[in-house]
């Protein structure tokens, strides 16, 4: 054995040690001492074995003895390090085993093994062809016992064959070039207490520099005030559902829950706790409100300062007490300022009209700090001398009402004529009744009157008239006498005569014939003297005559005319209102809804065709005849069953049409004993498919309806459905191939949306793949969404919907549009990039709906380009008009294909932060900061450029980052925006 190959190991060890020092994998101890370590947001790893940290011999078992050899080398600090090496490259049939000591599993079901090794390039070794290998194998054996002496080789389970990404040559040894390989593998479904690892060399020249075994866990974290404990990740890619418990002084609002992903990251926070009353949320804890502050609502995050005229003297107050003389009404929120009763109203103005009065006033100068000032009117009737008053009693009317007036105005009617009244206008507000202080009011005194009705009784002669008097009607006080004032009209009031009578009529003599006189009358009662009534004009006759005129008749006529006009106005108004109503109904039509209305017969739009729904045909068989070709059953040869559909078997076979080449086809048949509706629905799919002609839509060859079984014949897609195809070929395609598939699907969907066809069940399981990896949209069944799809679940509205693929508006109120198809397309993108992973993993449908509503979106699948995940997020915009159209998606994907470098930057799940999961935490060094922003690859760049303290990075610019060798724009942006946060928050980094 020669050790000429040891040099590269030593060269690499320095670098390895250096990076080891910078690596911040929190160990178990660290986690115990600090429950909320900075790894809070990233996954934590718990190391089960680290060969680099062994102080003495590793004590691993090597057999045969001339195989693997343990060698101690010194790192640059002269600390001995254990490595295992083997290099029997000249001898044939090597089978050298190296078995580790027993590694306890520590509760993990899935562990990771990170090995660092160097490997010699066989081509650089003379005379070894045929014997030299460039790979080795890694195995494990599960056991509950840690002291097994011998484990037969055939008991080990193979993990993988490990090949070097980089092997070194003699030249590298001379140049001391680092060629260290790092590989990580994992073992799932461990169930025994521990396991052994083994490395099998079959003739390579290897130095095993370090072996680290670890598992991942989701670290203790507090989210939405719920504490989620350290959780070991599940087996395979399963999510572990974890229930959170509310932190001290908080209460559960909606059961908090999160999922621990296989990567050790927390996903999908749902539900939350709130700080209880009197406590506020600060740094993920609930802290008491300080004196002078309070918190009265559970859903308020923070304590608020006591509102005006209130105070709190204690910690954790749930409300503030009002100052003396101030009150809080029963319905007032705790956040309202304390208030007091208003001052009295002022500036009253009263306008008396006979026995009614309009009173107006100005609102109180001090409203008491409230907006709910109202007014009460209190009425007193007073003696003529003015002093003695008594309550008015009933019979008086207040318009709009007497108590609780919100406007400073009231009309009071039905007062007694010739009476003195005093009205107290009182101002009140919501706290008036809580105050024991005096009422706040202003008094208004008025005296009523009433006009006497005058009736022309007789115009007996050309020089006299007889007038009769009526009223005042409502006065209880007897009329003492009537006073008549009259004058010639053309002389105005300069020359008038006053006559008085105690009787209810009066004859006025001595008038000029053929002359117009003006009469006005007033009454005197014991209550006082009234006002003159309106002017009455009478013309004496030129000859003696008898005439009776009742002015009330004129009034009646006027009322009839006015009533007619009002009726007319009412009718006209009704007419307009009903007209508006019709207009409104028409305007309510949703333009989107138009798409859902299909017309019989093909509608040609310029440059596009509109799909015709088979249900618009009275005879569905006619739709089949119109859109699907009838195939003679003798041209079909069925070869084998390939699956089962909703209506029967799916077979593959061949179709040979006259004067056409034989082609492979898929044959869907309708099982025997079908109902007529099933036949209609089965053939409905053919009527739909037959209308499409596009390279990314499954092509209908024809139907067999004239004999049984009824069949639908389509082109054959060699690779079957996309979801199972991807699962079968996990990780085997280049990004460009995946984008090519997605581009095809988007192009098919663009065609469908241009034809106004809404698919409603776009999912990888409904895409078929042919031998050239061309993807085609399929599954156009009529009852598809209701019956066929195993993913479809009943919604609260009774419909059956594939929840995980469906846009929120379609789930909530069945708003299926091309925009909801775009949402589903985003999910298909995610399925494609994760090679058929189930969207939202094992989460329940209810949790998915809730999480989406709370803003959660699927993280990027492993190794997914940033730009593709961004496109997915665009498809999952809550507002459907914000989502891209299929045409735009096709253009975007075309650009990616033309410029593949746009796909270089990967957004793997650990670097992408769900915006929901953003949180600030403390960093104390440049390394910690770069780790927090997931930019550890640049630690060395910063150190080399001399940026070793956090202060020193605060003012970095784009150009400085470029100079340091950080050239990716996305990374520059991320670092600079984090620097802005550092500036704003000190050492609190918001990620
Ligand atoms: O995933 P698969 O292999 O692809 O299993 C299902 C099964 O039939 C039931 O639908 C397959 N299938 C359906 N249509 C076609 C087709 N045109 N070409 C090939 N396979 C098809 C589908």
List, for residues 214-236, the tens digit of each pLDDT value. 999 998 999 999 999 999 988 77
* Mean predicted confidence (pLDDT) in 701-715: 95
823 CA from centroid of ligand 1 (Å)? 24
- Cα 737 to ligand 1 centre (Å): 21
What pLDDT does 559 receive? 33
Question: Residue 277 — φ and ψ, nearest 5°?
Answer: -60, 140
- Residue to mutate, 641, 721, 775, ligand 1, most ligand atoms under 8 Å from C-beta: 721
Nearest CA, atom 10, ligand 1: 645
Ligand 1 touching residue 430 (CB < 6 A) = no
Which one, of 428, 409, 424, lies nearest residue 357 by Cα?
409
Close Cβ partners of 114 (under 8 Å, ≥ 6 residues apart): 182, 183, 184, 210, 211, 212, 213, 214
Report the range of poorest mean pLDDT among 154-163, 674-683, 712-721.
Answer: 674-683
Residue of 472 and 445 predicted with greater confidence: 445
Report the pLDDT averaged over residues 536-563. Answer: 50
- For residue 725, the ligand 1 atom closest to its alpha carbon is 1
| Cα of 722 from ligand 1 centre, angstroms | 10
720 lines ligand 1 (CB under 6 A): yes
Options 263, 761, 788, 821, the catalytic residue? 761
What six digits make up the tokens of 808?
Answer: 């929120």
717 lines ligand 1 (CB under 6 A): yes
Mutate to test the pocket of ligand 1, among 636, 639, 642 (most ligand atoms within 8 A of CB): 642
Confidence tier at 261 by pLDDT (50, 70, 90): confident
Is any atom of ligand 1 closer than 6 Å to the C-beta of 714?
A: yes
Q: Per-residue pLDDT tens for 420-470? A: 899 999 999 999 999 998 999 999 999 887 777 777 766 657 888 888 887
pLDDT attached to residue 14: 37
Residue 2 scores a pLDDT above 80: no
| CA of 752 relative to ligand 1 center, distance in Å | 21
Per the document, the length of the chain is: 991
Between the CA of 645 and the centroid of ligand 1 the distance, in Å, is: 9
Q: What's the mean pLDDT in 594-603?
A: 32
- Compute the average pLDDT of residues 568-577: 34
Q: From the CA of 652, how far away is ligand 1's center (Å)?
A: 9
Nearest CA to ligand 1 atom 7: 643
CA 671–ligand 1 middle distance (angstroms): 17
Residue 559, CA distances (Å) to 426, 568, 853, 988 in order:
38, 14, 64, 82
Q: Which residues pair with residue 517 across a beta bridge? A: 488, 538
> Who wins on pLDDT, 57 or 423?
423
Distance 717 CA to ligand 1 centre (A): 7
The 10s digit of each residue's pLDDT in 517-534 is 888 888 877 666 677 777
Whether residue 18 is predicted with pLDDT greater than 50 in this model: the reply is no
Q: How far away, in angstroms, is 591 Cα from ligand 1 center?
A: 37
For the CA of 724, the closest atom of ligand 1 is 1
Residue 475 near ligand 1, beta carbon < 6 Å:
no
Taking CA atoms, 761 is separated from 251, 468, 725, 752, 935, in Å, by 41, 93, 19, 13, 40
The residue nearest atom 12 of ligand 1, judged by CA position, is 720
User: What is the band of 31 on the pLDDT scale with cuts at 50, 70, 90?
Assistant: very low
Across the chain, mean pLDDT equals 82
Q: Taking Cα atoms as reference points, which of 118, 136, 127, 147 lies closest to residue 10?
A: 118
Place of tokens 């079908």: 674
Q: Find which of 170-174, 515-519, 682-686 is predicted with most confidence, using mean pLDDT.
A: 682-686
Cβ burial of 417 (10 Å; 0-12, 13-18, 19+) is buried
| Pick from 31-40, 740-749, 760-769: least confident | 31-40
Is ligand 1 within 6 A of the CB of residue 721?
yes
Output the CA 799–ligand 1 centroid distance in Å.
26
Phi then psi for 732, rounded to 5 degrees? -95, -5
**CA–CA–CA angle 18, 22, 26 (5° rounding):** 130
Would you state the pLDDT for residue 459? Answer: 67
Nearest CA to ligand 1 atom 4: 720
- Whether the per-residue pLDDT at 963 is higher than 80: the answer is yes
Quick one: pLDDT at residue 604?
Answer: 34
Residues annotated in a binding site: 642-650, 668
- Binding-site residue positions for ATP: 642-650, 668
| 3-state SS string for 826-852 | HHHHHHHHCCCCCCCCCCCHHHHHHHH
Choosing from 640, 647, 768, 770 the residue with most ligand 1 atoms within 8 A of its CB, the one to mutate for a pocket test is 768
**pLDDT tens track for 587-596:** 233 333 333 3
Q: Is the CB of 716 under 6 A from ligand 1?
A: yes
Better-scored residue on pLDDT, 927 or 319: 319
* 530: alpha, beta or left? (left if phi > 0; alpha if psi -120 to 50): beta
181 versus 44: the higher-pLDDT residue is 181
How far is the C-alpha of 868 from the C-alpha of 913, rounded, in Å?
Answer: 15
Residue nearest to atom 3 of ligand 1 (CA): 720
| Nearest residue by C-alpha to atom 2 in ligand 1 | 720
Instruction: Kindly give the number of the ligand 1 atom that is closest to the alpha carbon of 716.
Output: 18
Q: Which pLDDT belongs to residue 875? A: 97
For ligand 1, whether the C-beta of 670 sits within 6 Å is: no
Atom of ligand 1 nearest to the CA of 644: 9
Tell me the angle at which helices 676-689 and 620-627 cross, rounded to the nearest 10 degrees. 30
d(CA 665, CA 654): 5
Q: Is 400 in the pocket of ligand 1 (CB under 6 A)?
A: no
761 classed as catalytic:
yes
| Cα atoms in the Cβ-side hemisphere of radius 13 Å centred on 757 | 28
Cα-to-centroid distance, 213 and ligand 1 (Å): 43
Residue 564 belongs to what H/E stretch?
helix 551-587
Q: How crowded is residue 49: how many other Cβ atoms within 10 Å of its Cβ?
A: 19
* pLDDT value at residue 789: 65
Ligand 1 atom at minimal distance to the Cα of residue 765: 1
Q: What is the mean pLDDT of residues 673-678?
A: 87
Instruction: Name the token pair of 931.
Output: 């780790």
632 CA to centre of ligand 1 in angstroms: 23
Q: Look at residues 326, 294, 330, 335 and name the one whose alpha carbon lies nearest to residue 312.
A: 294
pLDDT value of residue 793: 67
Predicted confidence (pLDDT) at residue 599 exceeds the cutoff of 90? no
Q: Does ligand 1 come within 6 angstroms of the Cβ of 666?
A: yes
The protein residue whose alpha carbon is closest to atom 21 in ligand 1 is 720
pLDDT at 21: 31
Ligand 1 neighbour 645 (Cβ under 6 A): yes
Give the confidence band of 555 by pLDDT, cuts at 50, 70, 90: very low
What residue owns the CA closest to ligand 1's atom 8? 643
Span of 358-367, 558-567, 933-942 with lowest mean pLDDT: 558-567
Residue 986's pLDDT is 53
Q: How many CB atoms within 10 Å of residue 371?
A: 9
Q: What is the pLDDT of residue 991?
A: 45
CA 97, 98, 100, 102 torsion: positive or negative? positive
Q: What is the pLDDT of residues 919-954, one digit of tens each?
A: 444 677 888 888 877 778 788 889 888 888 888 888
- Statement: residue 753 has pLDDT above 50: yes
Q: What is the pLDDT, as a whole number, of residue 106?
A: 87
Task: Tell whether ligand 1 has an atom less than 6 A from the beta carbon of residue 724.
Answer: yes
**CB of residue 768 inside a 6 A radius of ligand 1:** yes
Our mutation pick for probing the ligand 1 site, out of 641, 646, 647, 666, counting the most ligand atoms within 8 A of Cβ, is 666
Ligand 1: which of 682, 711, 720, 789 to mutate, judged by most atoms within 8 Å of the beta carbon? 720
User: Which numbered atom of ligand 1 lies nearest the CA of 643?
Assistant: 7
Question: Which of 717, 725, 777 has the most ligand 1 atoms within 8 A of CB, as the residue to mutate?
Answer: 717
The ligand 1 atom at the shortest distance from the C-alpha of residue 642 is: 8
Q: Which atom of ligand 1 is nearest to the CA of 714?
A: 17
Rg (CA), the chain: 47
Q: What is the pLDDT of residues 823-838, one digit of tens each?
A: 999 999 999 999 999 9
pLDDT at 598: 31
> Whose alpha carbon is nearest atom 19 of ligand 1?
717
For residues 655 and 637, give the distance between their C-alpha atoms in angstroms, rounded to a whole number: 6
**Percent of the chain at pLDDT exceeding 90:** 50
Most confident range, picked from 244-248, 487-491, 787-791: 244-248
Of residues 845 and 918, the one with the higher pLDDT is 845
Q: Which helix (H) or strand (E) holds 233?
A: none
Nearest-angstrom CA–CA distance, 857 and 865: 16
Residue 239's pLDDT band (boundaries 50, 70, 90)?
Answer: confident
Stronger pLDDT, 477 or 867, i.e. the higher one: 867
Which pLDDT belongs to residue 305? Answer: 96
């Amino acid at each position: 054995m020669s050790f000429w190959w040891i040099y590269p190991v030593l060269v690499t060890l320095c670098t390895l040690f250096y990076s080891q020092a910078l690596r911040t994998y929190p160990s178990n101890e660290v986690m115990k001492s600090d429950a909320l370590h900075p790894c809070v947001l990233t996954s934590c790893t718990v190391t089960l074995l680290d060969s680099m940290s062994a102080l003495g011999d590793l004590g691993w078992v090597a057999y045969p003895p001339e195989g693997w050899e343990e060698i101690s080398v010194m790192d640059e600090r002269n600390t001995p390090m254990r490595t295992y090496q083997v290099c029997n490259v000249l001898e044939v049939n090597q089978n050298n085993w190296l078995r580790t000591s027993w590694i306890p599993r520590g509760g993990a079901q899935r562990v990771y093994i990170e090995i660092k090794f160097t490997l010699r390039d066989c081509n650089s070794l003379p005379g070894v062809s045929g014997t030299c290998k460039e790979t080795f194998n890694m195995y494990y054996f599960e056991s509950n016992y840690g002291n097994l002496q011998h484990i037969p080789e055939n008991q080990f389970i193979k993990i993988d064959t490990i090949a070097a990404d980089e092997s070194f040559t003699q030249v590298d040894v001379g140049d001391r070039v680092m060629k260290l390989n790092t590989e990580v593998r994992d073992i799932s479904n461990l169930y025994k207490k521990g396991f052994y690892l083994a490395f099998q060399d079959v003739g390579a020249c290897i130095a095993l520099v370090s072996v680290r075994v670890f598992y991942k866990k989701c670290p203790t974290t507090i989210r939405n005030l719920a504490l989620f404990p350290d959780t070991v990740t599940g087996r395979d890619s399963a999510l572990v559902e974890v229930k959170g418990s509310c932190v001290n002084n908080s209460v559960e609002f909606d059961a908090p829950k999160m999922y621990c992903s296989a990567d050790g990251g927390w996903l999908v926070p749902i539900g939350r706790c709130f700080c209880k009353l009197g406590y506020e949320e600060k740094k993920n804890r609930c802290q008491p409100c300080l004196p002078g502050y309070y918190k009265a609502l559970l859903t308020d995050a923070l304590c608020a300062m006591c509102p005006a005229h209130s105070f709190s003297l204690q910690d954790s107050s749930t409300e503030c007490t009002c100052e003396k003389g101030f009150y809080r009404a029963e319905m007032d929120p705790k956040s309202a300022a304390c208030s007091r009763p208003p001052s009295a109203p002022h500036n009253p103005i009263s306008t008396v009209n006979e026995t009614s009065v309009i009173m107006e006033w100005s609102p109180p100068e001090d409203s008491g700090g409230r907006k709910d000032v109202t007014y009460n009117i209190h009425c007193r009737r007073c003696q003529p001398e003015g002093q003695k008053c008594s309550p008015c009693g009933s019979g008086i009317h207040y318009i709009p009402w007497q108590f609780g007036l919100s406007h400073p105005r009231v009309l009071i009617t039905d007062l007694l004529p010739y009476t003195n009244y005093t009205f107290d206008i009182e101002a009140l507000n919501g706290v008036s009744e809580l105050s024991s202080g005096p009422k706040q009011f202003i008094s208004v005194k008025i005296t009523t009157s009433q006009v006497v009705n005058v009736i022309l009784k007789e115009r007996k002669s050309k020089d006299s008239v007889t007038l009769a008097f009526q009223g005042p009607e409502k006065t209880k006080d007897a009329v003492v006498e009537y006073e008549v004032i009259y004058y010639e009209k053309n002389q105005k009031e300069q020359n008038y005569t006053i006559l008085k009578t105690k009787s209810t009529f009066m004859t006025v003599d001595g008038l000029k014939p053929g002359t117009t006189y003006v009469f006005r009358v007033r009454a005197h009662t014991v209550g006082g003297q009234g006002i003159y009534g309106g002017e009455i004009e009478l013309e004496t006759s030129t000859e003696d005559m008898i005439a009776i005129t009742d002015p009330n008749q004129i009034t009646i006529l006027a009322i009839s005319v006015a009533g007619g006009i009002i009726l007319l106005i009412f009718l006209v108004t009704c007419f307009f209102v009903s007209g508006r109503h019709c207009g409104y109904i028409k305007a309510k039509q949703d333009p989107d809804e138009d798409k859902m209305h299909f017309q019989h017969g093909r509608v040609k739009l310029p440059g596009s065709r509109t799909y015709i729904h088979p249900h618009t045909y009275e005879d569905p068989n006619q739709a089949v005849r119109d859109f699907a070709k009838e195939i003679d059953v003798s041209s079909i040869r069925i070869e084998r069953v390939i699956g089962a559909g909703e209506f029967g078997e799916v077979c593959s076979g061949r179709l040979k049409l006259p004067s056409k080449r034989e082609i492979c086809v898929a044959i869907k048949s309708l099982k025997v004993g079908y109902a007529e509706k099933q036949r209609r629905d089965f053939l409905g799919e053919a009527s739909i498919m037959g209308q499409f002609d596009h390279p990314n839509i499954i092509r209908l060859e024809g139907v067999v309806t004239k004999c049984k079984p009824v069949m639908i014949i389509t082109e054959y897609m060699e690779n079957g459905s996309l979801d199972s195809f991807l699962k079968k070929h996990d990780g085997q395609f280049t990004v460009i191939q995946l984008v090519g598939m997605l581009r095809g699907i988007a192009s098919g969907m663009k065609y469908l949306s241009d034809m106004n066809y809404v698919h409603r069940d776009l999912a990888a399981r409904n895409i078929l793949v042919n031998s050239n990896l061309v993807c085609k949209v399929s599954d156009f069944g009529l009852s598809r969404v209701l019956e066929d799809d195993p993913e479809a679940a009943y919604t609260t509205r009774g419909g059956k919907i594939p929840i995980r693929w469906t846009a929120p508006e379609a789930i909530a109120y069945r708003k299926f549009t091309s925009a909801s198809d775009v949402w589903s397309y985003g999910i298909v993108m995610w399925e494609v990039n994760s090679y058929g992973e189930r969207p939202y993993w094992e989460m329940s449908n209810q949790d998915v709906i809730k999480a989406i509503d709370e803003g959660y979106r699927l993280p990027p699948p492993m190794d997914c380009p940033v730009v593709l995940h961004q496109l997915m997020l665009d498809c999952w915009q809550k507002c459907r008009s914000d989502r891209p159209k299929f045409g735009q998606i096709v253009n975007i994907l075309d650009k990616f294909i033309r410029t593949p470098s746009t796909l270089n930057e990967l957004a793997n799940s650990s670097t992408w932060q769900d915006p929901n999961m953003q949180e600030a935490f403390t960093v104390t060094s440049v390394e910690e900061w770069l780790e927090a922003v997931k930019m550890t690859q640049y630690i060395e760049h910063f150190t080399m450029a001399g940026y070793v303290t956090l202060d020193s990075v605060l003012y970095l610019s784009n150009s400085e980052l470029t100079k340091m060798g950080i050239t990716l724009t996305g990374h520059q942006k991320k670092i600079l925006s984090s620097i802005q946060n550092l500036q704003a928050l000190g050492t609190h980094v918001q990620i």
